[in-house]
Structure 1
Amino acid sequence: MHSHLRKPILSFWQLWNMSFGFFGIQFGFALQNANTSRIFSTLGADPDNLSLYWLAAPVTGLLVQPIIGYLSDNTWHPTWGRRRPFFFLGALFASIALFLMPHSSALWMAVAVLWMLDGAINVSMEPFRAFVGDKLGPSQQTAGFAMQTFFIGWGAVIASLLPTIFADYMGVSNESVAGAIPDTVRYSFYAGGAIYMSAVLWTVLTAQELPPEDMEAFRAEQRRNQGLLHAIKEILAGFAGMPKTMVQLAAVQFFTWIGLFAMWIYTNVAIGKNVFGTTDAQSAAFQAAGSHVGVMFAVYSGVAALAAFVLPVLARHTSRKFAHTLCLAIGGVSLISLFAVHDVRMSYLPMVGVGIAWASILTMPYAILAGALPPKRMGYYMGVFNFFIVIPQIMSSLLLGFVTKYLFMGEAVKTLMLGGVCMLVAAILTLAVQDNAAPER
């Protein structure tokens, strides 16, 4: 729909405005990642089954993202544009879920709200990826995704630190009283809901979208694509037409996200035991470990925000493949090194390496992929690409609990090491990816 030749070069502040919504999206996502296992454990979840309770999140993404991508490809409104209606609706429901989550009084309620929250995050997040492909030509795509990564990083830094900020600087209680979710977590989720909505609204109101070049042809295609059965047929048929680069990146993503999901699920338990000396979810020490993990996650997110602007320079002087391979290798070694961490201060060092990997994970695969996709199906294929993020997450949810309990004898830190090995495999597979896009300038 959009020719690369006709896409204008955007200024720094135009890139800023179109990406700022990701600050809010990642605020919600980081609160989810850093606190969900803590909330589940506080409400009585068995540590051996934590990965199963997380299953709602990837299953939701598997269903939502290709559908939202397809719908946004076939949407155009003279005021709202193509992607921005989905930004707004996703933000609205995600904000509601963020306000509901800390009021969960039972484990099943927290799992249900996680389902709602993750679904809403997916509705607003997937079109943001396609937004870069819509508005930017090949010479600015890596910069566009890097700007998103910058906001992802800083959103996650602040969100991950919020429980600690409320506890240490505002005197809010960080303890679980009678099995309830601590006040620090409750207030953090309230703030997250407000910030999520505000940041996405900024992008909705300040960023413009390019209309289809041939509006008559676009409207005719809209009419042909109407109907649920046609939509399902189109979505399924698109798998057979995946570009070669996308198939190669799928293998990279598969192993990358097993590593990340292992980290998000088991860092609380591993740090609680290895650094704070407890696995009792009702103890003050475990809640302190939960807040500390938030700080650790803030470190890797902050590093990612800074690394986001170094990555385009590294890619320009080497290649996008080399940059991604190097970053994944650093992240894998860093995750493996967590087995040696028994001190609070030392726990931050591996997060620096994870942050370097995270910056590349959020930037390079999408920049490589955007150059290989047909412009008129950008949203759909970005949604399908999410399959190769959520499928490994589903497998992790189903299998990591078994592996942790029976193969690693309950040692969660060994699951983190397994995640590091998977990230190293992803680094090796990146070397086989074909990147034919125009070089960055």
Structure 2
Amino acid sequence: MRKRTLSFWEIWNMSFGFLGIQFGFALQNANTSRIFETLGASVEEIPILWIAAPVTGLVVQPIIGYFSDRTWTRLGRRRPYFLIGAILSSIALFIMPNSPTLWVAAGTLWIMDASINISMEPFRAFVGDNLPDRQRTLGFAMQSFFIGVGAVVGSLLPYMFTNWFGISNTAPEGIIPDSVKWSFYVGGIVFFLAVMWTVIRSREYSPEELEAFEKEKIKAKPERVEVIDKSKNISSQFLSGVVMAVIGGIVTFLIYTNELTKELYILFVGLIIAGVLFMVVSQLRKNEVRNGFTIIITDMLNMPPAMKQLAWVQFFSWFALFSMWIYTTPAVTGHVFGTNDTTSELYNDAADWVTVMFTVYNGVAAAVAFLLPVLARRTSNKVTHLLALTFGGIGLISVYFLSDKVGLLLAMIGVGIAWASILSIPYAMLSGALPSAKMGYYMGVFNFFIVIPQIVAATILGFLVKELFNGEPIYALIVGGCSMILSGLLTLRVQTHKRINIDDQS
């Protein structure tokens, strides 16, 4: 048994929901800080309020992935989660711009981000479920295309409502402008309709069919399967838990005694909790306890080798992206245009140009998304990703040497190529190394390597800019560019083969 080859439009239909999801993320990313400030948040409070987004994804995605792997209804395996997430997300998008107080907006952000993640996480596994290996790069590239289009249009909605339809972008103190409200309303509608299109126009293989496909693949390539010694695995799990808890405890103590940035607590207290969970589960496994909790934590330890190797690729590429998102505005205004006066016309013109730069790289990502599978077929996924990330790294580094607006847009072309590849190639490589029965769960865990570099970038880069770079944020972009190129080189060491835990055989 083999999965059938899908047509271009079938892949289009199964990926179309990502357009709505990206509308939601684009509106959230572009307007949440504005809403918080309007409702009275200080600049210092905004990062803590924003931490909801990465923490929510860190927790929600593996859980949704685990349960979607074990779901089968009349709607299918993944599509029920698409639908539930879309309904909740659309409601949250309508509520967010009407938040009467800051705490309501912060709570709505948690709900909105959790709901978006409920829809988004199974979409990655959906491609792995439905497409044969040879089409997965195209499937994830299609998602990249819709992400690029959704990011461009979703981010521009407030501007479009103000300049095209004359809707006010100002309001009395404590009130969200109408242009933002209408943007969220449209985003909520688009989110729901786009996801519904995928739910209605797509089909899924049953768990029995997927199991048959998996057995056929194992027969064809038996060398890809390894068996883990259970007793050694339990000991390794306990030792890993001890190490994580000790490191987390020591660093948390240093953060407290040295009064370092509060965001670091999220990372290292989380490491303590993960260590404790590993130790607890190792003891439960010794007593032959097997349930959802033990499986989730144990599978985190037993990630396939390819996933562990791709984790480093993801870490350095997303570290580079967060350095860009955090520091492009001060780098461009200060280094390229030579002003740090936020009240000056030159500063605000430069800051506005940054939004154009970001629109360009998202547009480029959408434009080149379908070229990546062609290049991958002629070379390989690894070589394609290396080339794309090298272009992106050079683009970020080149900002240091530029002095005009056109040059900055050209730099973003390289970033756009890298962005398209980051959103597709690693997932195509990963999906081929995952057992179909745990596709959703491992795709959710893979999100860890997006969230962790976000937290690290938000904390470490601030220290580097202040202490080592004399307050010059342009050097953070150079660090990001080097990190992106390093990520591309690390791609070459990824070996995609499967490993099956002995527990799966019981």
Aligned match of 1:198: 193
Aligned match of 2:477: 416
Task: Please give the residue correspondences for 1:116-135 in structure 2 after superposition, counting only pairs within 5 Å.
Answer: 116-135=111-130
Letter of the 1:379 counterpart:
G
Q: Tell me if 1:178 matches 2:173.
A: yes
Cα offset for 1:332? 1.6
Aligned match of 1:82: 77
Aligned match of 2:359: 298
Aligned match of 1:224: none
| Structure 2 unaligned blocks of 5 or more | 213-288, 499-506
Q: Which range moved further: 260-269 or 141-150? A: 260-269
2:413 maps to which of 352, 355, 359? 352
Change (3 A) 1:185 1:214: closer
Q: Deviations over 1:156-213 (max 9, x none)?
A: 1211222332233223334575365444333322221111111001101111111122
In structure 1, distance between residues paired with 2:350 and 2:411: 16
| Aligned residues of 1:160 and 1:297 also touching (Cα < 8 A) | no
Task: Please give the residue correspondences for 1:104-253 in structure 2 after superposition, counting only pairs within 5 Å.
Answer: 104=99, 108-175=103-170, 178=173, 180-213=175-208, 230-253=291-314
Cα offset for 1:114? 2.7
Superposition CA RMSD, Å: 3.1
| Aligned residues of 1:14 and 1:207 also touching (Cα < 8 A) | yes
Aligned match of 1:311: 372
| Aligned residues of 2:210 and 2:436 also touching (Cα < 8 A) | no
Aligned match of 1:222: none
Q: Which range moved further: 288-297 or 205-214? A: 288-297
In structure 2, distance between residues paired with 1:396 and 1:49: 18
Match of 1:213, SS?
A: helix
Task: Please give the residue correspondences for 1:5-154 in structure 2 after superposition, counting only pairs within 5 Å.
Answer: 5-40=1-36, 51-77=47-73, 79-104=74-99, 108-154=103-149
Change (3 A) 1:407 1:92: farther
| Aligned residues of 1:160 and 1:295 also touching (Cα < 8 A) | no
Match of 2:145, SS?
A: helix
Q: Deviations over 1:261-291 (max 9, x none)?
A: 233334445556565956649x998877666
| Aligned residues of 2:329 and 2:354 also touching (Cα < 8 A) | yes
| Aligned residues of 1:69 and 1:381 also touching (Cα < 8 A) | yes
Match of 2:71, SS?
A: coil
Cα offset for 1:368? 0.5
In structure 2, distance between residues paired with 1:46 and 1:342: 33
Letter of the 2:2 counterpart:
R
Letter of the 1:419 counterpart:
G
Aligned match of 1:325: 386
Change (3 A) 1:215 1:65: closer
In structure 2, distance between residues paired with 1:434 and 1:157: 35
In structure 1, distance between residues paired with 2:154 and 2:22: 8
In structure 2, distance between residues paired with 1:401 and 1:67: 32
Q: Deviations over 1:39-91 (max 9, x none)?
A: 455566665775444322111111011100000000000x2111011111111
2:437 maps to which of 376, 383, 392? 376
In structure 2, distance between residues paired with 1:286 and 1:41: 20
Q: Which range moved further: 198-207 or 290-299? A: 290-299
Bigger radius of gyration, 1 or 2? 2
Aligned match of 2:252: none
In structure 1, distance between residues paired with 2:105 and 2:333: 21
Q: Which range moved further: 158-167 or 336-345? A: 336-345
Q: Which range moved further: 102-111 or 190-199? A: 102-111
Letter of the 2:83 counterpart:
F
| Structure 1 unaligned blocks of 5 or more | 218-227
Q: Deviations over 1:197-255 (max 9, x none)?
A: 110011011111111227999xxxxxxxxxx9821111111023211111100001011
Q: Which range moved further: 102-111 or 308-317? A: 102-111
- Paired-residue identity, %: 56
| Aligned residues of 2:360 and 2:413 also touching (Cα < 8 A) | yes
In structure 1, distance between residues paired with 2:482 and 2:350: 25
| Aligned residues of 2:38 and 2:173 also touching (Cα < 8 A) | no
| Aligned residues of 2:26 and 2:151 also touching (Cα < 8 A) | yes
In structure 2, distance between residues paired with 1:312 and 1:389: 23
In structure 2, distance between residues paired with 1:81 and 1:73: 11
Change (3 A) 1:295 1:101: farther
Change (3 A) 1:44 1:256: farther
